[in-house]
Amino acid sequence: MADVKLSTQPYKGTRDFYPGDMRIQKWIFDQMRAVVEGYAYEPYDGPMLEPFELYAAKSGEELVNQQLYWMMDRGERKLAVRPEMTPTLARMVAGKIQELPRPIRWYSTPNLWRYERPQRGRLREHWQLNVDVLGGDPLLADAEILSVALSIMKRFQGEHLVQVRVNNRRLMDHFFMGLGLSAEVALKVTKALDARAKIGEEKYATWLAELGITASQREQMEGFFQSSFEQIELKFACEGTRELRALFSLLEESGFSKNQVVFDAQVLRGLDYYTGTVFEMYDTSPENNRAMFGGGRYDNLVGLFGKEKLPGVGFGMGDVTLRNFLETHGLLPSLGGGVDVLVALPKSEWRVHSETIAHQLRVAGMKVMTPLSIEGFGPQLKIASRHGARYAVLFGDAEWAEKKLIIKDLAAGVQEVVAAADLPAWFASRKVTNP
């Protein structure tokens, strides 16, 4: 066995984040956090393992039967690795429902696990920004949630490249009921429609036939999907269309264009708990055909845990699709390395001098490395460059005697002598910090 080498590959559908990837990941989530905290959302988190039943209750058959990672613990409890955050959120809110000030505006950035066939935009582990409001006026909350999502895209300078497609589950219930479908069959048809793009027309047709959908019902469905919102509003006036109309007005008032937020009767969402507004956001160019975020209104999730109901609305935005989008459109900035400055170590007796200078710069917020071996300046500078440092601070006997330091710009290859006392100010005036 001694010669068998272990694989360096991560488990299928998961990613290793080397420091270069981690820098991008951190930058992406820092941008998202800045936007959602600007809207006064507060961070929360929960455990990665939850009781299996938490998802069995409302997340939907596909997620539970095909995608959950689950296990029995040593005490014979059936646990699931969280595939989404919304059930945890509902559980946590229900647990303190009397104490929490409303409306509850919370966000989280969990890693989630789903057993999927890995492909572009779909992996087995992804990170997801979750933003939710519970309580408040439902329409105002729906509009705010969509504003937050679009503001995030604006922060990434990509808001003109995306489209939010909106529908309403109440409208769909009304339509399916008019079609003569029972609630149970309607839910199954919703699943088929949600999977349609993924499975193709042939399998979709077979699925509908198996559910007993007649040719005439199918024709009416196609007619419905091809209708404009105005036509649907006339023909299927109901609470769902009224909610949609009011939501579109609010968003228009807030300055979102008619192209940015559109009605799409084919957006249904695969999760069972949605009860009102549902939405997904897509890249308008075809390279990234997976939704970048999805969400909607859920009126009955918190009620699963106790007497009190507290409706909510929210979305999940995944890092995989978002990063594909940012890369496709050249929207990722160059993030530099993890080091701003090397403070060189001329000789071993001067270690404390180097450390003192480095400490001053660290206190000023810079990322500063000092050598871990005593070598000539040449090798020290090479190491600094390989780690992406922009500057090196050097000193020899002559400089130290005069309380001076040499600052070398490693990219430009030029150097300058400054008074030791002026060093932090010199860097501060040049804003030398990698993001």
Q: Which residues of the chain form contacts with ligand HAM (CB under 6 A)?
A: 84-86, 114, 116, 122-123, 126, 128, 130, 132, 271, 291-296, 314-316, 318, 320-321
329, 429 Cβ separation under 8 angstroms: no
As measured in angstroms, the least distance from the Cβ of 175 to ligand HAM is 22
Give the nearest residue (CB) to ligand HAM.
Answer: 318
Q: State the Cα–Cα distance between residues 435 and 69, nearest whole angstrom.
A: 36
Helix, strand, coil abundance in the chain, percent, nearest 5: 45, 20, 35
Choose between 292 and 423: whose C-beta lies nearer to ligand HAM. Answer: 292
Choose between 297 and 367: whose C-beta lies nearer to ligand HAM. Answer: 297
As measured in angstroms, the least distance from the Cβ of 340 to ligand HAM is 33
As measured in angstroms, the least distance from the Cβ of 7 to ligand HAM is 22
SS3 282: strand
As measured in angstroms, the least distance from the Cβ of 35 to ligand HAM is 16
As measured in angstroms, the least distance from the Cβ of 16 to ligand HAM is 16
Report the Cα 221 to chain-centroid distance in Å: 33
Choose between 116 and 399: whose C-beta lies nearer to ligand HAM. Answer: 116
As measured in angstroms, the least distance from the Cβ of 236 to ligand HAM is 25
Choose between 89 and 369: whose C-beta lies nearer to ligand HAM. Answer: 89
Burial class (CB in 10 A: 0-12, 13-18, 19+), 353: middle
As measured in angstroms, the least distance from the Cβ of 417 to ligand HAM is 52
Residue from 47, 78, 299, 28 nearest 168 by CA? 299
Choose between 102 and 403: whose C-beta lies nearer to ligand HAM. Answer: 102
As measured in angstroms, the least distance from the Cβ of 138 to ligand HAM is 14
Choose between 251 and 271: whose C-beta lies nearer to ligand HAM. Answer: 271
380, 392 Cβ separation under 8 angstroms: yes
Q: State the Cα–Cα distance between residues 234 and 259, nearest whole angstrom.
A: 21
Sheet with 341-343, strands from edge to edge, namely 368-369, 341-343, 391-394, 404-409, 414-419
Span between the terminal Cα atoms of the chain, in Å: 45
Choose between 67 and 227: whose C-beta lies nearer to ligand HAM. Answer: 67
Q: State the Cα–Cα distance between residues 427 and 15, nearest whole angstrom.
A: 36
**Could you tell me the maximum CA-CA distance found in the chain, to the nearest angstrom?**
94
How many helices and strands (H and E) does the chain possess?
16, 17
Residue from 391, 433, 398 nearest 414 by CA? 391
Which residues does residue 70 pair with via DSSP β-bridges, in sequence order? 80
254, 153 Cβ separation under 8 angstroms: no
Choose between 150 and 361: whose C-beta lies nearer to ligand HAM. Answer: 150
As measured in angstroms, the least distance from the Cβ of 269 to ligand HAM is 7
Residue from 382, 374, 370, 366 nearest 429 by CA? 366
SS3 264: coil
Choose between 181 and 261: whose C-beta lies nearer to ligand HAM. Answer: 261
Amino acid at site 160 = H
Q: What is the DSSP string of 33-82?
A: HHHHHHTT-EE----SEEETHHHHTTT-HIIIIII-EEEE-TTS-EEEE-
Choose between 291 and 383: whose C-beta lies nearer to ligand HAM. Answer: 291
As measured in angstroms, the least distance from the Cβ of 107 to ligand HAM is 10
